[in-house]
Chains A and B, each alone.
Chain A
Amino acid sequence: MSTATPLLPPADWRDFLALTKPRVMTLVVFTGLCGMLAAPVGIHPVLGFTAILCIALGAGAAGALNQWYEADIDAIMRRTQKRPLPAGRMDRQSALHFGVGLASFSVILMFVAVNWTAAAILAVSILFYVLIYTVWLKRRTPQNIVIGGAAGAFPPLIGWAAATNQVALLPFLMFMLVFLWTPPHFWALALFVKTDYANAGVPMLPVVAGERVTRTQIGLYTIPMAVAAVLPWPLGLTGAVYGWTASITTAVFALFAAQVALRQTGAEDRMTPEKRLFSYSILYLFVIFGALVADRWLLAGGSA
């Protein structure tokens, strides 16, 4: 079965670390931690740490399996050419074994140390990212990141489930927020790295449907995202700290998204509003989840 691949020296441990996409993991760990800290019941610090570790390892495993499957398109895109597989620093089988091993380990550890609900959602999120997004949708439809975005939306749900062994409306709304945040976030990126995706044959929306449609979709997805972000406040699930923070930061998000949605660009455009929306969207998620935790703690402090 093996083709004429040159024999590689054993990969460096740093390359295994790079397979886990540590930068993407930051946001996953943060939203998972916030989901856990926003839960109404506490969790033993060691078990909480274990749950977050499992979320991080699960996300790392999903990233490794994604890179194993996408080595061919990673080799074409400038942004991903230096990853361990396309750069020829690791053989594909090592990446596959590492990804499957890490995924199994994270789910089993979550089940044994924390609870079965969190373990089941973690398993679903890894399978969703690898099978539904990477294998099935990414190369087939421009809606790839809409459905695939659900994989990245699971961590707050897992964090909450780790603390409570169940799911509730608030973490579900947090799931919806990340799910609906993903399209404007990624399409803003896709607007300014369009040629990279086009060269690799990935049917990102700007490549397949054009810039105008993408801009409209960014605007349209921002509306339900804003509803999911603010809704916990009127529903009485959070207090005013979260409510005001979510309202203000979401209004700024909507403003930046509207600028992108209504804009027309020329040939030499520097795509400043698109880059601004992309950068702000990352900050936005950090702030809104931080506010959720701050709100929970202030409420708990006030009622104690």
Chain B
Amino acid sequence: MTPDEQDLVRRRQRSRAIVMAVLLFAFVLLVFGISIAKIQAGMPH
């Protein structure tokens, strides 16, 4: 693998890691919101 290719792979891995982190954080917020909504509505799960 040439240094340019190595650079490209690192850049892709880094951007994918950032996107995954953002998505996971959003998912945590969503689950929290869903839990609050269900508690408010008195739903079973």
Which A residues have a C-beta under 8 Å from some C-beta of B? 9-13, 44-47, 50, 53, 112-113
Contact = CB atoms under 8 A, between A and B. Distances in A.
Q: Which of B8, B33, B36, B41 has the most CB of A within 10 A?
A: B33
Interface string B15-45: 1100100000000001001101110110001
Q: Which DSSP category, helix, strand, loop or mixed, fits chain B's interface?
A: helix
9 contacts: A9-B5, A9-B9, A12-B12, A12-B16, A13-B16, A44-B41, A46-B37, A47-B37, A47-B38
Interface residues of B, number: 17
A10 B34 contact: no
Contacts of B8: 9
Given A10-B13, A13-B19, 9 more contacts: A9-B5, A9-B8, A9-B12, A10-B12, A12-B12, A13-B15, A44-B37, A44-B41, A112-B34
Q: Which DSSP category, helix, strand, loop or mixed, fits chain A's interface?
A: helix
Interface of B: 5, 8-9, 12-13, 15-16, 19, 30, 33-34, 36-38, 40-41, 45
B33 A112 contact: no
Contact of A12 (B15, B34, B37): B15
B12 A50 contact: no
Nearest to A10: B12
A10 B20 CA distance: 14
A113 B44 CA distance: 11
